Structures are given as structure tokens and as C-alpha cells.
Amino acid sequence: MKRQFLLSISILITTITFAQPRSVTELSTGWKFAKGINDQAYQTEFNDKNWQTVSVPHDWAIYGPFNKNTDKQVVAILQNGEQEATEKTGRTGALPFIGQGWYRNSFDLSDFKPGKKVVILFEGAMSEPKVYVNGRKVGEWNYGYNYFYFDITNDIKAGKNVLAVNLTNLGQSSRWYPGAGLYRKVSLIVKNQESIDQWGTFITTPHISSDFAKVSIKTRVSGANLQLRTFIVNAAGDTVAHDRTQTRFGKEFDQNLSVPRPQLWSPESPYLYKAVTRLYQGSELKDETTTRFGIREISFKPESGFSLNGKVRKFKGVCLHHDLGPLGAAVNIAALRRQLQILKDMGCDAVRSSHNMPSLEQLELCDEMGFMFLAETFDEWAKPKVKNGYARFFNTDAEKDVVNLVHATRNHPSIVMWSSGNEVPDQNGSEGAKRAKWLQDIFHREDPTRPVTVGMDQVKATMASGFGSVLDVPGLNYRTHLYEDAYKQFPQGFILGSETASTVSSRGVYKFPVVKGINKTYPDQQSSSYDLEYCSWSNLPEDDFILQDTKPWVIGEFVWTGFDYLGEPTPYNKLPSRSSYFGMVDLAGIPKDRYYLYRSRWNTTDNTLHILPHWNWPGREGQTTPVFVYTNFDSAELFINGKSMGVRKKNDSSPQSRYRLMWMDVKYEPGTVKVVAYDKNGKAAAEQSVVTPGKPHRLVLEPDRTQISADGKDISFVTVSVVDEKGNPCPTVNEQLSFKVSGSGKFRAACNGDATSLEQFHLPTMKLFSGKLVVLVQADTKPGDIKLTVEGKGLKEGEVKLVSK
């Protein structure tokens, strides 16, 4: 049977060679995939000639179609305060993630010799993966968000080897779109038996001064009679410290090196060093690894709160789910980098991975680009939120899942905190407090340098049970009215807004009259972008701003959310809504109005002056159409067709007036809206205008990058807009467009940011939403020119040229 299985595989074979003591090969191409084949069928059916050929990372469910019967749930969402169960048809995105999937690949180890060790590393597999090598099961792992590896030395042979992975996704296993498949990297590591263990290096910086930094490096190894040499290299490539040692403590070398005049890591200056570690047996080099790290100091103290490198600061953070919009859960560096660039321009300096373990690519980018990171583990502990969630595995798997998270990621300077859970039902009672302490102790054992938090929504219960007092950092999800009580009750002397706001909006959609609304719904299943609508458990941004501005013991916030994500379409929870409304940026990566409210507060280097709403309201002539301005300036004057509507200054008359400039009584008339902002001396410092457009005329294409890498993975994100003959944006056009890519690239996906759109992302056609959408153009592996052409009925086509190198 095993022989038949091996002979029937006819796919691309990756050849591994051993020029160095260690080789790491990403298994990205040559995969065969099939859905719906169960374990028993795998044992008897080996012909995969009709299977789909895919590359990994891969999310099988993102290609759709959307369907209201996919994971339809009749449930009361307790986190939302619901008491009665109702039907939910978009909670997990209405995409076909449920079921079993099989992946197969082959690799060639023709040069394999006795004395080598082979490890297979998975950075994320959704979910419950079972791994087979040459027909034998070598291991399994339950948690779809975790990184794991198996030593397969005894299961491989010189020559051709076959890797197979079975994945099982159950319905009612998630509260959002989880994705499906091998959605993160798979790597094959070949090294000597005498080698550095997987994730065996741990770097800390226990002492930092202007003269030197003490860098402590612990290295776990396998083998006897070994010597370790370590070199610290700065960003310019110069060796600034080195050490050699033969002294081991059990399996671990412990080195302390002095780096002179250290450059410190921070969001403003994300300086990175490398530790090059070489393992010798006698004079023979047995293994070598390179580990990036940063030199930085963190502290959390009563009253003063959080400090980085000795300077008190407050987190200007966002929560992010793991999906990448039209790409689904499949990791893509270009998409992650674009997300972070958009957040950086907003002034954001921190990210919380919600509510799952982050990808290694995301952490690497945060190291490079300068984002502090709150790395989270679980959305469930022992008490379930959904029928088939992580609670099934908590008692048996939680410790090893935490250990893998810490070991795989602890050298990233961006990580400044761990989170062991989010809104877990275990917050009630003494058992929950014991679980919180147990998990926190595991984090401390594996990494004594960082504190641990939990996102708590049952704040009164955590005050009564002692749950909140156990934590290093008490994190409050919303509940702004309980901040004072929690501060007095908890002993830590500070509070973190671990999840804040949950304001909802649809980009470019405005509802009248303009009033605050809780759980407000509309027939079109959109939310107003006047940014005054929020959920029953949450609040408006100003409530958090005031706490941070007036309470030194509030150490910052992580806003729910930075970007919209698939699933959790609150407040509707039914199709056609299939993605969230919480983001400051929509699912396509286009900023909403609320983005500029936060930018006016967070971005302290660039001016912000943003007007809402758009000014194209046929039929509203003479009706009240309020104008809001989000700006870092304290005052501004509004003009409608040259007539002054008066000067507004930020003031304390209402929470909104402290951070927004609002003209509530403006009557709509077509023409030009102009705002002039004034500096502290009363002088005009900036101006911005919005005009009523003419007839839609042509399409404008704006790529985020015109040059991309010819690696088969890189992506240019092209924003498509409609303008009139004068170039004025047409914000209400929802025309159907079609896309064509030629040359050394391909059409990858499109997204319009509409939470109610059921168009499939991978098809080369989509409707505009509020006059915009984004097209993803992916590079081939062959360098050359790429052309994207976009067409729409009655519009002059748009074209943009890109190049892949």
C-alpha cells in the first residue's frame, strides 16, 4: 500500500542539497490539494492526478462562494449581551471553511546521509493537522493558530519523500472567519545531529546604558563536546561583540556580551542587530543560525504606567484579526506590509493579535517598521464560547501551545506583552483566577522579561473573584464606566485599554439625522460614517481619549479594530453582511473617515485636515447636512460656496467637541465645501475642499507600488476611483468594473470594502463601493512589464503599468 502511494504521486519534487551545515527549504510550490477526502479514503485512494495544484500559504475557503447556510448558527452571543438565541448567517464569513482537506508534496533528499537530522516546521495549519511522511503518521497538533514541528529523521530516506497533511475544520469552531488550510509557511530543516535546537536561542538585554548594553544569550543544543561562538552584528554589518564558550549548563550555553554605545529599538527608531551563532565540534562547524533582535528596555510601574527605554508613553494601538481581506488567511508579506504602512501613517505604534497567535512575518515586519506588539494566545480557555472551539483542547494543550508561542517569538523586540486570553467565560469564580495564574506562570517560566495580560470584559466579576488582581497588566475590554472602580480595586496601579471603542461605520456611507446610535441598523445593512454609532457593550472613541488624557494610570488603548475583517458582521449578523464594520480602514485597505479622527490625535509629525461627508446629495437641497472636520488643529472655519459658516474650536461642551469640529446646522447646497484650519496664533495654516462632482467620466488607477519583486508572491495594490471630467472624485458611483492583467503578472483579487458584497474576490469583476475599490496584481516569477486595465460601462477605461524585477 505504501509503495503504491509513493509511485502514484506525480508532482513537482523539491531537491534539497547540503552545502551548509543547515539548510532551510520553504515548501511553497508543487502542492496538490483536495477537499472532502476523509482519513479512511486516504488509506485506500492514492491517485491525486485530479487534485488541484496550489502554492502554500493557501486558504482553500477564501475563493467562496458566500453562502448563508455555511456555518449557520442559532446562538446567543453572550459577549454582545444577547439573552436569546437567534439565527446568525455571516458570523464566520459565510465562506466554505468547514470540512476536511488534504495536501501533498514531495521533496528529494538524494544527498541525505546518516548523522543528519530532519525537522518539518509548520507555522500555522487550520486546523487539527495530522502529518504523514511516506505514508506514516508522524504527529498531529490541534490549535490552528500555533507553530509546531516534528523530528522526522527516522521517517525519511535518501531520495524521494512524500509529505501529506490532513486538516479538519468543524462548524461552530470560531467567532470569526478562521480561514482553512496550510495558510502559513511550511519549511523543511536539515541539519546535523549536533545542532542548535529549534527555537533554541533566547536573547535578552538585562542592562542598558548609553555606554554599553549587556546582551544575554541562552542557546539550547544537542550533542557532546561542543563549543559555541557568537557574533553580534549591527545594522551596518559590523561585528560589535563576540564570545566563545565551551561551558554548558545541561543542554544550554549561557553567554553575556557587551555591545558598546547601543542603538535602541523603538517605534520611532526600530534599530535591529543580529546574533550569528556557530556551533563547533572540535574545528568542525556543525551548525549556524542567525537571530535578529533589538536592544530595548520596558517597564510597567504603578501610576506612571508603561515606559519604553526610560520614557513614559501610552499605547496608540489597534487590534487586528489574522485575515488579509480578499486574500483570506493566507499569509502574504506585501499585504501585511501595506497594512502596517497605512497604520503607521495614522500614527499607530502598537498592534494586538486578536485573538490568536501572530504570524512570524507580521512580527518581523513590526520589528523592522517599528510597532510594539501584544501577542495573544486564546479566545477560549476551559469554558466554551462556541460549540467546537478551543475549550475542547485547553486542559491538554494549553501549556504546550503557550510554550511554542513563546519559544518561536520571544526574540522579537516588538513584543512587549503577552496576552493569555480574550474575554474568556472563565473570568467568573475562583477557578478562572487559578487558570489565569497558571497560564501567567507558564509565560513567566518561559520568558521572565515580559508581563502578561488578559482582555477582560466581565470587569465586576474579575474584581470580585480576584481574577484581575492576579494579572501583571489588567486589561479592560470597553467598560469605560468601570475604569475608576477597577483602578481602585486592582493592586497594579494602572489599567490598559486592551480593547476599545467598537465604533461601527461603512466607508462613504452617511445616515441622517446625525445622532448618536447604539446598535443602530438600517435596511441597506450599512452603518453611518459620521462615526457616532457603536455597540451596546462599547462606546465612541472620545470616551477612551478622555480617559487617556485625564488619567495618567490609563496606559493606552488597542482600538477594535485597525482593519475590517471577515466574519462578525455586527450589528447585523446576517447575510448579506459577511464582514465587520469596526475597522478604521475597510476590508480593501481604504481608510474610512474615522481613520482621520485617530490620525489627528496619534500622528504628531504630520498635519491632518479631513472633511466629511462627501458633498453629492441630489434631493437633499435645503436639508440639514452636518459637516465634521477631523484635524490636529484646535480651530477651523467652514465655507459653503464661499460663505462662512463660522469658526469652530475644540472645547469641553461635549465629549465629541473636545476632539472634533462640528457644524451641525449646515444646509446642503451643491458646490464647494472648504475648511481653513488656524494655528494657535489664529493664522491660517491649512485648507481642504470637497466639491460636488459632475457626471462620472473616467477611472483613475493608483498603485501603492509600481515596482514589485518577481517572486510569484509580491503584490501591488491598485486603488481604482471614479472622477468627473475635472478630476473630482465621484463618491456615490457603484458601477460594475472588469479587470485585465497582461505581461509578467496576474490578477489576484479585488475588494471594494463593502461588508454586504457577496461577489467573489478572485473573479476579475466587481462593483465599486462609494466610488472606489482595490485590485491586487500579483507578480509572476519571470521579470518584466505588467499592465492592468480596468473598464466600466460609460466610463473611460483606466490603465496602469507596473514592473516586476
Tell me the catalytic residues.
423, 499
CA separation for the pair 105, 404 (Å, rounded): 25
CA separation for the pair 658, 650 (Å, rounded): 5
Q: How many CB atoms lie within 10 A of CB 147?
A: 24
CA separation for the pair 704, 702 (Å, rounded): 7
Retrieve residue 509's grid coordinates. Answer: 456611507
Q: What are phi and psi of 10, to 5 degrees?
A: -135, 70
Range 617-647 burial, b when 16+ CB lie within 10 A, else e: beeeeeeebbbbbbbbbebbbbbbeeeebee
Q: What are phi and psi of 329, to 5 degrees?
A: -85, -10
Q: Contact 610/629 with Cβ under 8 angstroms?
A: yes
Running DSSP on this structure, what letter comes out for residue 398? H
Q: Contact 424/381 with Cβ under 8 angstroms?
A: yes
Query: In angstroms, how far is CA 174 from the centroid of its own chain?
Result: 17
Q: Contact 353/362 with Cβ under 8 angstroms?
A: yes
CA separation for the pair 52, 243 (Å, rounded): 51
- Using DSSP bridges, classify how beta strands 315-320 and 350-353 pair: parallel, antiparallel or unpaired: parallel
User: Which of 229, 215, 323 is closest to 264 using CA atoms?
Assistant: 215
User: Which of 408, 557, 567 is closest to 478 using CA atoms?
Assistant: 557
CA separation for the pair 414, 374 (Å, rounded): 8
- 578 to 88, 165, 176, 526, 587: CA distances (angstroms): 10, 29, 10, 12, 11
Query: In angstroms, how far is CA 495 from the centroid of its own chain?
Result: 24
Retrieve residue 702's grid coordinates. Answer: 493608483
Q: How many CB atoms lie within 10 A of CB 517?
A: 17
Q: Counting beta carbons within 10 angstroms of the beta carbon of residue 746, is it exposed (0 to 12), middle (13 to 18) or buried (19 or more)?
A: middle
CA separation for the pair 58, 331 (Å, rounded): 8
CA separation for the pair 746, 781 (Å, rounded): 11
What region does 200 belong to: left with phi over 0, alpha with psi -120 to 50, or beta?
alpha
Query: In angstroms, how far is CA 616 from the centroid of its own chain?
Result: 35
Q: Contact 526/509 with Cβ under 8 angstroms?
A: yes
CA separation for the pair 42, 40 (Å, rounded): 5
* CB proximity list for 552: less than 8 A, separation 6 or greater: 303, 304, 305
Give the orientation angle of helix 360-369 with respect to helix 394-409, to 10 degrees: 40
Q: Counting beta carbons within 10 angstroms of the beta carbon of residue 35, is it exposed (0 to 12), middle (13 to 18) or buried (19 or more)?
A: middle
- String of DSSP letters for 235-267: TTS-EEEEEEE--EETTEEEEEEEEESPPBB-S
Q: What are phi and psi of 323, to 5 degrees?
A: -75, 155
Q: What are phi and psi of 339, to 5 degrees?
A: -55, -50
Q: Which amino acid is at 367?
A: D
Q: Contact 559/584 with Cβ under 8 angstroms?
A: yes
- 688 to 493, 637, 677: CA distances (angstroms): 43, 11, 9
Q: How many CB atoms lie within 10 A of CB 679?
A: 13
User: Which of 539, 387, 377 is closest to 457 using CA atoms?
Assistant: 539
Query: In angstroms, how far is CA 281 from the centroid of its own chain?
Result: 42
Beta bridge partner(s), residue 518: 534
